[in-house]
Every structure is written in C-alpha cells, then in structure tokens.
Structure 1
Amino acid sequence: MVLVFKTNVNSSSKVKRIAPKLNTLFPNSKWNFDLEDCDRILRFESENDIMKEIIFLMKILGFECEAL
C-alpha cells in the first residue's frame, strides 16, 4: 500500500529530525520526502493502513500533514 501526504517539511534538516521517529515507529515501512514538489510530498510504502498514525505523529512533531 502506498500512502501519499502533503506536508510543510521544507528542508533536509527537518527530514533528519523526523527520520528517527518514522524509522522507530514504522520499522517495516519505506518512506521518502519529495522536497522539490510544491506539496512537499511524503510517500510511505507499508503493508498496513497507517495513515492516521502518520498524520498524528507529524502533527505531534509540529508539522502539517494531509493525506492526498
């Protein structure tokens, strides 16, 4: 399952701050940010529907995150 989110993450330093949390909470998922895209896309590949958990985590970390 591929999940796609619009975020306000706009720098690699912010991605580095987020990465440990994503890797710890979702160890069996693959993810990446497209900071060049106008929507600052976060893509997740996961076997489970973890959409709500990702949005919740991103908001706790202080970022906007909206499913597309």
Structure 2
Amino acid sequence: MEAITNSTVEVFKTNVHTTAAAAMLVALLQKRITNSHVNFDLDDCDKVLRIEGTDVSHQLVIELLKKHGYLCELLDD
C-alpha cells in the first residue's frame, strides 16, 4: 500500500540576500512548520523561498520574515 501525503509546495518572493540570513530563517521556519522542507534560491531574482509541507500557513511565513526585517509575499503560479 502506498502512503498518501497531502504535501504542498508554497513559493514566496523575498528580499533575503545573504546565505547567513537564509540559514537562520530556514531554521526558524522548520521549527514552526514541522515536517517541512524549507529552502531559499538566492540566485533567483525573486530570492525565492520554497516550503514543502502538509500544513503551511502563508500568514505565519510572511509574519515571521517581517518580524526579522524581511519582505515576503506569496508568489502566484
């Protein structure tokens, strides 16, 4: 029997520019959003943040980055 997962991928545009800031934010997000995979693509012009998980709150992500001085908005498909 194959396991069914309801995992989704959410993609955000940010203004995070450094690998140190990205690493700190990844650690914070993974603590808040359990069972998730979080990464940044700082080479992308939108400084993309991708989160794969089963229960990703857009508002939580946006507020957490804002609290640390970064802009974050959901990217539409």
> Mind listing any 5+ residue stretches in structure 1 that lack a counterpart?
none
> Mind listing any 5+ residue stretches in structure 2 that lack a counterpart?
1-7
User: Which residues of 2 match residues 20-59 of structure 1 at below 5 A?
Assistant: 20-59=27-66
Residue 2 in 1 paired to residue 9 in 2? yes
Give the 4+ runs in structure 1 shifted more than 6 A.
none
Residue 14 in 1 paired to residue 21 in 2? yes
Does the aligned pair in 1 maintain the 2:26–2:38 contact within 8 Å?
Answer: no
Letter in 2 for 1:6: K
Normalised by the length of structure 2, the TM-score is: 0.80
User: Larger relative CO (CA 8 A, sep 6+): 1 or 2?
Assistant: 1
Partner of residue 65, structure 1: 72
Identity of aligned residues (%): 40
Judging by fraction of residues, say which structure has more helix: 1
Report the Cα offset of residue 51 of structure 1.
1.0
Normalised by the length of structure 1, the TM-score is: 0.90
- Give 1 or 2 for the bigger CA radius of gyration: 2
